[in-house]
Amino acid sequence: MGLYRLLANLLSAVYQGPITPLHHPCGTSVLTQIHATKPFLEVLSGRRQPVPPIWMMRQAGRYLPEYRELRAKAGGFLDLCFTPDYAAEVTLQPIRRFNFDAAIIFSDILVIPYALGRSVRFEAGEGPRLDPLDTPEKVETLAGQGDFTKLEPVFEALRRVRRELDPKIALIGFCGAPWTVATYMVAGQGTPDQAPARMMAYRHPDAFAKIIDVLVQNSIQYLLGQLKAGADALQIFDTWAGVLPPREFQRWSIEPTRRIVEGVRAKVPGAKIIGFPRGAGALLPAYVAATGVDAVSIDWAAEPSLIRERVQNRVAVQGNLDPLALIAGGAALDQAVDDVLANYAGGRLIFNLGHGIQPETPIAHVEQMLQRVRAYRG
């Protein structure tokens, strides 16, 4: 048995996860690999990779002809999200085409309000529409507990993707951060600077805090469901964090995110979680210190020395190519890719965009980016 123990220890150093002895019919133990190494998870676990793992936010999207074809077949956007066959297929489309190091389940940040019984609809060319919670009286109508049977299609899509993914490719689940989801719930739609939610937070902080509290608790439950269904890691998207002044950023972005991370890890202690407080800038070090995330996604305007010296010394960094450079292609794209690598690849880096890929992005430019990143050796 000493030999098998030695082999198990050696294999555990190469592969992430346990090495389990199976018993041969003749009574001999046979060692089997349970989990292949996932470069994406290696970075989140504290191990820098010589070639940074890469994926893209919104990588399943309108820039892909196969996505557009399935989107037309599905009908409404929520029909696409809530049909497991369709959601699993569009999640896998960019993996088949580009072999990214991570897949992210195809869904939307507004499925939590939907589970809470709010009207959520997507109108072509106009984005999401909800019934606004723009007064304290309306906030009182908000349910405290979501109906998670409504989100079972998301969990089923995760299970299907998990079965089909190459063992080396990670699967990401996600939710919207409470602040960002609340901005849509208050206004009933996206606005240029999310002023309606900011105004409610100033004028009626108790009512606004109720929305946040409900979103925190239901987001914890939703993320735990995604982990149970097969997600390897989670991302919390705080798309509108950058509109908040420092005091409000602490209260409405950092604190709810900290509570979600804490709540998930109370049930799954090793859960790997990425935060994305878009536009946080100089507030990023405080966000990282307080929330407990394993990595932080940064937008293209992040200041490299600040990130290296005060963020990347604590957690992994994900980002931060400008999506417009990806549209531009050519020498400008090569330079932008090289800048990200020069700034951050010396530490733990997951190569990504600074926000989601744009629909008009040429597929050839994605291939150009991938080739350049994967040629890196550091």
Q: Which of 305, 299, 297, 294 minimizes the C-alpha distance to 346?
A: 305
Residues designated as active site: 58, 62, 71, 108, 184
Q: What angle do CA 56, 61, 67 make, to 5 degrees?
A: 130
Q: How far apart are the first and last CA of the chain?
A: 39
d(CA 272, CA 278) in angstroms, rounded, equals 19
Listed in sequence order, the residues at least 6 apart from 253 whose beta carbon sits closer than 8 Å to its beta carbon are 177, 179, 238, 241, 244, 277, 280, 287
For residue 206, CA distances in Å to 90, 201, 214, 256 come to 40, 8, 12, 15
Amino acid at 79: D
Q: Are 250 and 286 in contact (CB under 8 A)?
A: yes
Q: Indicate the residue type of 229.
A: A
Sign of CA dihedral 246, 247, 249, 255: positive
